[in-house]
Amino acid sequence: MALAEVIQMPEQPRSVQVEDGFTRIAHGIMEALALADLGKRHYKIMLVMCRQTYGYNKKSDEVSLSQFHDKTGILPPNVSTAIDELVDMRVLLKTPGKYAACLAVNKAYAQWTGKAKVDVSKVWGYQNDNSTVIETIIGGSQNDNDGVIETITTKDNSKRNNQKTTPKENLSRSLRERFEIFWEAYPRKRSKTTAEKAFAKLNPNEQLFNDLMAGLGRATTSDDWANPKYIPHAGTWLNAGGWMDEIQAAYTDAELAVIRAFNGALGERIGAVDEAVFVEARAGAIRAFMGKLAADPEAWKRYFPAVRDKVDLPPHAGFDYLISPKGYGDVKGRMAVKRNPDGSRAMGEWDKSASGIKAMAKEMGVSFTDDEPVPAIAMRVREAIAKREA
């Protein structure tokens, strides 16, 4: 018994539907373009311009040469030539943009010149009398596999005001590719749809996209983004122009001067700071430290030598500790305790101030809390001193 041969029919592509998004364009522009004696490249450029502007409900757009190439297959030099010719014929209007030339379709087609010049009366005649225009529709592969030809009379829908002007898909194919590159690199994967809308609104050309990715690279290596909870959602970052934020990548001269002063006085003793390795949090701490000493601009120059000569530092002490509010307060307290000529502490002087009492308590190993009464701390310090001298 012979087996029936199964023939695989080729899969038919789905025909496009207006529900998937469409470009709303005035009849007059379409009719004027049909009358204009433009070249093949000109028409391709105009189709892209209508899609990039009216398709997104915009009057103009910055479209790079590479975008035109991606959408038309025309080489960038030829794209540039075609655009210049359309501008000369006043079919396109060209103004300087931020990242690329800003282009717009000149809707005043009566101003078109050269080969683009049209008989305006014919345009209006087409616009006002389309009752006899016959639309020939070849049955699409979705609903008609027999290729039946159907003819119908088109209706004038110019008065309809409920047409959908925003495409259902937020991103075109080229923008989708760029967005996915951006999304892959963005460290916080939250609210992707919102990010897509922000990206579509931004509509970055090649130059802007490169700037955006460079800014993202700087942000991902900054201390601000070291903690994931401080990373904004991608949509928020895009809408705020986050790629243009100025992120400090090296110490300023003033910050380097403080680091070098520390290295010169204490670097060999407790460890030098590598000034070539930038730490954003450290830079901020240096600025705060200098702000605390703003009343005496030269105080920071004397601070580290004084620490070296007068203070017995705890084992954990380092540069970051010494410039922190807590470390600075501890050091000042230790400095308040006077010394004998031989460098030993003058034990009778430590209890003249709260900072001196707390410094002595730390030296004697007497624990205390910040909210504990100072006299109680002093009493326990005296007891510890008495035990040591006994």
Q: Is the pLDDT of residue 173 over 50?
A: yes
Q: What is the mean pLDDT of residues 376-388?
A: 82
| Domain-ending residue, one of 317, 332, 347 | 332
Per-chain mean pLDDT for the chain: 77
Q: Is the pLDDT of residue 301 over 70?
A: yes
Look at residue 312 and tell me if it is in a domain. yes
Residue 73 banded pLDDT, cuts 50, 70, 90 = very high
Residue 197: domain span: 173-244
Give the whole-angstrom CA distance, residue 44 versus residue 52. 12
**Complete DSSP assignment for 41-60:** HHHHHHHHHHHHHGGGT-S-
Give the whole-angstrom CA distance, residue 367 versus residue 384. 11
Q: What is the mean pLDDT of residues 172-185?
A: 84
Q: Is the pLDDT of residue 139 over 80?
A: no
320 and 271 in a single domain? The answer is yes
Give the whole-angstrom CA distance, residue 291 versus residue 284. 11
Look at residue 387 and tell me if it is in a domain. yes
For residue 83, give the CATH number of its domain. Answer: 1.10.10.10
CB 366 within 8 A of CB 377: yes
| Angle CA 79–85–88, to nearest 5 | 145
* Per-residue pLDDT reduced to its tens digit, 183-216: 988 988 888 989 889 898 888 888 888 888 888 8
Give the whole-angstrom CA distance, residue 194 versus residue 188. 13
CB 255 within 8 A of CB 287: yes
* CA-closest candidate to residue 92, choices 74, 62, 78, 112: 112
341 and 296 in a single domain? The answer is no
Q: What is the mean pLDDT of residues 291-300?
A: 81
CB 114 within 8 A of CB 88: yes
Q: Is the pLDDT of residue 42 over 90?
A: yes
Percent of the chain beyond pLDDT 90? 8
Give the whole-angstrom CA distance, residue 71 versus residue 364. 78
* Per-residue pLDDT reduced to its tens digit, 211-265: 888 888 878 877 677 778 778 898 888 988 888 776 666 788 888 898 898 888 8
Count: domains in the chain: 4
* CA-closest candidate to residue 211, choices 178, 248, 251: 178
CB 232 within 8 A of CB 188: yes
CA atoms within 13 A on the CB side of 17: 8
Q: What is the largest CA-CA distance in the chain?
A: 120
45 and 107 in a single domain? The answer is yes
Q: Could you tell me which residues come within 8 angstroms of residue 362 by beta carbon, excluding any fewer than 6 positions away?
A: 314, 330
Residue 169 banded pLDDT, cuts 50, 70, 90 = low
79 and 38 in a single domain? The answer is yes
Where does the chain have alpha helices with state H?
27-35, 40-53, 65-72, 76-88, 120-128, 173-185, 192-202, 206-220, 234-239, 253-270, 280-292, 299-310, 319-323, 325-335, 354-364, 374-389
266 and 328 in a single domain? The answer is yes
| Domain-ending residue, one of 244, 260, 286 | 244
Asked which of 70-74, 222-226, 300-304, 356-360 is least confident by mean pLDDT, the reply is 222-226
* Per-residue pLDDT reduced to its tens digit, 86-120: 999 999 998 887 777 889 899 888 889 898 888 87
* Per-residue pLDDT reduced to its tens digit, 350-372: 777 788 888 888 888 888 988 88
What tokens appear for 232 in the block? 């904004």
Q: Which amino acid is at 286?
A: I
Q: What is the pLDDT of residue 156?
A: 45
Q: What is the pLDDT of residue 356?
A: 81
